[in-house]
Chains A and B, each alone.
Chain A
Amino acid sequence: MDFNSLPYSLEFVAGSGCILTLEERTALQTSLVIVKKNYKFQRILFWGKILGLQHDYFVAQGRGEDEMTDRKSLYSLNCVDWLLLPSVTDAMVEEVSKAAQGRFKGNPSFVYEHKVSQQEGKEQEKVARNVTEEKRLAVTVHHIDEEASVVPRGAFIQSLRGLVQTNRSFGGLSESEARRLENFMHFRKPKTLQKKPIPVKAEWAPAIDFLDVLSEDIPKGSWSLQFECARRVCVLRSLLWLGLTFYHVPMTPQHGYIYMGLGMKNLDLPFML
């Protein structure tokens, strides 16, 4: 969620249980300003918190000119000192998916060991593929953004050159629109968009409808849409990544999402539904 809206938006997502302590909130207010200045971000967001066994990771994300491609993630253990997360490559994703198991330990230099036996000619060697927890964190943040990030329809516009920016004229979804999952979209490079039949595409506004819609997610029912805080705020919770909460106050431009959880994908989702 946007750093500028942090003071009041944390109340909206508190219904999921995890909140930031007062100490963490005040530390964030100060340190994120400095981070924004140092890295020259246009906008800085507090992405969320991943609970580890010994320590928790706080993750922030800075956005540049293009909201979609110009993203950098940072992490911290105490909300004061922030370190840049490595950018994610396909090779890194594969390594992490093989090596990293279990909960996050809380120590960024912890090494997950995974022995792979490779056959070279007639010799069998056991090669250890080691992955640090820092890389695992980067890959997890990337996955959550890919699979569970949410923005309301109309909050971002894509210019003709492909630049994605915040829509300053976004007035918010109406109450009835906010009840329908079709008005919420994933903030990632669209995957299912091109497969839509042409009559459906004709109804779209190309500047706003350039992202994948939440109602296309498989399995159906992996999003829980509720109205909380005395039914004023529309809250979306992901069941695939337990802990991701998105809020939107209808008829206002206030929206944002935050992840506060274990950092593990919920593989039991098909059983839960």
Chain B
Amino acid sequence: MQRSGRDCGEMQRLDADGTGARQAASFKAFLQKSSSRSDRNLYDHLVLLLAKIMDERPDDAVDVLEDMSLELKRASFKDTQRSLRDHVTPSVGERLAEQQLLLFKHAQDFNHEDPTVETGFPNVNESAFYLEQAGVGLGREEMQRILLALKLLVESHGLPQCRLWGKILGTESSYIIAEAEYTEGDEEQSTDEDLQEEEEEESGTQENETDPVPRSTYLHPPMVPKEALGTGANRFFYFVCNEPGLPWVKLPSVSPAQITAARHICKGFTGRLDSPVLSYPPFPGKEANYLRAQIARISAGTQVSPSGFYQTVEEEGEEEEEMAHDQCLVNPEFEGVSSLEMAQSLSSWVHHIQHILKQGRCTWVNTAMKVEEDSIEEEEAAEKDEQADEPEPEYGPPLLTNLSQDAEMFHTPPWSLRLSSTITPQHAVAVLRSNLWPGAFAYSNGKRFENIYVGWGLKYTGQGYSPCVPPPPQKEYPSGPEVTEMLDPSVEEEEEMRMALEEQQEVQQELEEDEEDEN
């Protein structure tokens, strides 16, 4: 405890009064102890505060005491010079700001560009204006940043066209997703996943010749082949980034196995593309693949347009089978439907993305033919194939079916349709909200329409998601008479057997004797 010179003197004088005075003095010393952070001490501060109150005589002094105290502290400038210099590390916000500055700089570099040339990136601000009327959006400034980021994307990757698909929220970070059409020049790097699977199969069939170990007769279900780039679920490819300004990452194309697995799990996104997806049934891939699969499902389920905007490609000749139309083109004769009409019935909206079949693809592929090539136990496999039934082809609703034919799930209609404003219906837009994928919105205003998804990337599960049950355990060995348990024969049965055997032996002996006699 520090004691100033004054105090010691006071203490000596008041010693005669006893311990009370000593306590008062020690408390006063405590009050005069300077703080470790600033050069103040409580005693001086209280003195100044009371002097201020005496001078100013404020109303309700007791209620504003704390505020006055704070003001006093702020007013007195104390230089806090320390011998150590602060090491300034750039905060996350500052680093991002530097990256986002590039968004604005690029605009100046390309000043000499001809502004009348059609650029591939969409007018996000215009869409944002209409989407705001529909009640969905990301805030005007964020949309502006996204617009600039899309411009960067189009320029850096040379894309002819791209579209803002939407935003998927994650626990650590979110994804902003842009959709681009597939052009013929793009090649995908062959993934090593297929090769690895083949290697595993080969290593598993090394036999022990001395002691034949029972071999598993489990056959991996045949892998459904991926759809070619530019068709079906892989018609578009997608770029994602965490924040506008950060570099765009291209997502890999999706395989049917990933789509079927994604249908059975309910997992959130973390925001890091390389984080594993731990789930049952196990998801074949990382978060980037899971994200791509969910994007494919959401697109197939919720991308809609006014009826008549797109028309199917008319094919002449091959009308023997029902050809699922792959593509649809923009109808040049589309005149636009008023938003009042669009808001009245669901049949004025159609899906313009192909439905994904149960198999995980948009066009059905018969996998039974390919089993012989892949598996190694050829003879057994061939036999089993002949016995098994041919898988039935799957059909989905054709392209451009209208929404009134969408099935209801969990007692909720799949879509909610309304006008954006009831007070001014003359200038309102028709707003369509999906109930199956909460977060999917579409609006239509005469000739313009737009789809967007902002949400967590999960389907509406009604009462709650319940994971699928693991398959029953396989039989270790086929059941046959040599391994099945049988009851031991009772004494009577044994007697009967013995009697029957004896009789047989007697009959045989007689026969043999007869033969000998004859010979």
Chain A contacts to B: CB under 8 angstroms: 10-12, 14-24, 51, 53-54, 78, 101-103, 168-169, 175, 221, 224, 226-227, 229-232, 237, 239, 242, 261-262, 267-268, 271-273
Check B96 against A17 for contact (C-beta < 8 Å): no
Shortest Cβ distance from B138 into A: residue: A14
| B267 within 8 A of partner (CB) | yes
Q: Are A230 and B100 in contact (CB under 8 A)?
A: yes
Task: Using known A-B contacts A227-B93, A239-B171, A242-B456, determine if residue A103 contacts B412 with beta carbons closer than 8 Å.
Answer: yes
Q: Any chain A CB within 8 A of the CB of B383?
A: no
- A271 near B467 with CB under 8 A, answer yes
Choose among A103, A226, A232 the residue that contacts B435 (Cβ–Cβ < 8 A): A103
Cβ-defined contact, A18 with B135, below 8 A: yes
Using Cβ atoms and an 8 Å threshold, which residues of chain B touch A22? Answer: 132-133
List residues of chain B with CB within 8 A of the CB of A268: 266, 458, 461, 464-465
Q: How far is the CA of A43 from the CA of B435 in the complex (A)?
A: 35
A11-B141, A17-B167, A103-B435 known; A272+B136 contact, CB < 8 A? no
Asked if B66 and A19 make an inter-chain contact with CB atoms under 8 angstroms apart, the answer reads no
Which residues of B lie under 8 Å from residue A267 when comparing CB positions?
A: 463-465
Residues of A within 8 A of B139 (CB): 10-12, 14-15, 19, 229
Contacts A53-B416, A224-B172, A230-B97 hold; do A17 and B266 have CB atoms under 8 A apart?
Answer: no
Alpha-carbon separation in the docked complex, A273 to B278 (Å)? 9
Q: Which of B449-481 contact A (CB under 8 A)?
A: 454-456, 458, 461-465, 467
- How many B residues, CB 8 Å from partner? 59
Chain B residues, CB < 8 A from A169: 66-67, 70
Contacting residues, chain B, for A272 (C-beta < 8 A): 266-268, 458
Distance of A12 Cα from B140 Cα, bound (Å): 11
CB of B173 within 8 Å of the partner chain:
yes
Residue of B with least CB distance to A265: B464
Q: Which residues of B contact A271 (CB under 8 A)?
A: 265-267, 279, 465, 467
Pair A51/B433 contact, Cβ less than 8 Å = yes
A21 to B134, CA, bound (A): 7
A50 to chain B, nearest CB (A): 12
Q: Which residues of B contact A239 (CB under 8 A)?
A: 171, 268
- Closest approach, in angstroms, between the C-beta of A68 and any C-beta of chain B? 21
Across the interface, name the chain A residue whose C-beta is closest to B265: A271
Say whether B275 faces chain A, with CB atoms less than 8 Å apart: no
Q: Is A14's CB under 8 angstroms from B142's CB?
A: yes
> Are B458 and A262 touching (Cβ within 8 A)?
no
Proximity string of chain B (148-175) to chain A, C-beta cutoff 8 Å, 1 when within and 0 when not: 0000000000000000000101111110
Q: Which residue of B lies closest to A16 (CB)?
A: B169
Complex CA distance for A224 and B132, rounded to whole angstroms = 25
A14 to B131, CA, bound (A): 12
Residues on B with beta carbons closer than 8 Å to the beta carbon of A21: 132-135, 420-421
Interface contact B142-A15, CB-CB below 8 Å: yes
Q: Is the CB of A15 within 8 A of B174?
A: yes
Nearest neighbor of A262 in chain B, beta-carbon distance: B438
User: What residue in chain A is nearest B438 (Cβ atoms)?
Assistant: A262
Q: Please, which residue of chain A has its CB at the minimum distance from the CB of B95? A: A231
B91 nearest CB neighbor, chain A only:
A175
Q: Does B439 contact A (CB under 8 A)?
A: yes
Which of B93, B410, B412 has a CB less than 8 Å from the CB of A230? B93
B413 at the interface (CB under 8 A from A): yes
What does the 1/0 interface line of B167-209 toward A look like (CB < 8 Å)?
1011111100000000000000000000000000000000000
